[in-house]
């Protein structure tokens, strides 16, 4: 006994459906492709990249509070005095990378209190 091929199965299905009075709407490939493409597009939009890590960027500082900003940068980054001073003077400069939003906001507030201008990216 050999298995049935696709055409034979289709013919048998049509005969059974006809005998039982079942009507199956024709398959429209153009509509199916449109639905599939639309579904994928919606999924891509829904999966917009949710950022979980952020960067803290020093964009500037008040001239009179430069020393306070350097001290705060040293405390945040554990850099030496020379490196922290160079970072502050090289503003705009990324201070920390790959940090959580809560931590970034906390550090932003600390730096702004001492006169720094900071962005979270």
22 vs 26, residue with greater confidence: 22
- In which element (H, E) is residue 21 found? none
* Cβ contact 76:108 at 8 Å: no
* Cβ contact 85:70 at 8 Å: yes
pTM greater than 0.75 (yes/no): no
The domain ranges of the chain are: 6-46, 54-120
Is the backbone of residue 54 left (phi > 0), alpha (psi -120 to 50) or beta? beta
pLDDT the model gives residue 47? 58
pLDDT (mean) for 81-86? 93
Q: Rounded to the nearest 5°, which phi and psi values hold at 8?
A: -65, -40
Token pair of 18 as six digits = 């006809």
pLDDT the model gives residue 88? 92
The yes-or-no verdict on residue 77 having pLDDT over 60 is yes
Burial of 73 (0-12, 13-18, 19+ CB in 10 A): buried
The CATH architecture annotation of domain 54-120 reads: 2-Layer Sandwich (3.30)
pLDDT-based confidence at residue 89 (cuts at 50, 70, 90): very high
Residue-wise pLDDT for 23-41, tens only, equals: 777 655 555 554 444 555 5
- Rounded Cα gap, residues 16 and 8, in angstroms: 12
For the beta carbon of residue 114, count every other beta carbon within 10 angstroms: 17
């Amino acid at each position: 006994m050999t298995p049935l091929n696709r055409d034979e199965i289709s013919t048998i299905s049509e005969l059974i459906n006809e005998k039982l009075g079942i009507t199956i709407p024709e398959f429209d490939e153009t509509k199916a492709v449109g639905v599939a493409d639309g579904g994928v597009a919606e999924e891509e939009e829904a999966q917009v990249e949710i950022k979980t890590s952020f960067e803290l960027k020093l964009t500037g500082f008040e001239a009179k509070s430069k020393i306070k900003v350097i001290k705060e940068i040293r405390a945040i980054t554990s850099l030496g005095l020379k490196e922290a001073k160079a970072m502050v003077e090289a503003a705009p400069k990324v201070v920390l990378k790959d940090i959580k939003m809560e931590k970034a906001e906390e550090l932003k507030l600390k730096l702004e209190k001492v006169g720094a201008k900071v962005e979270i990216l």
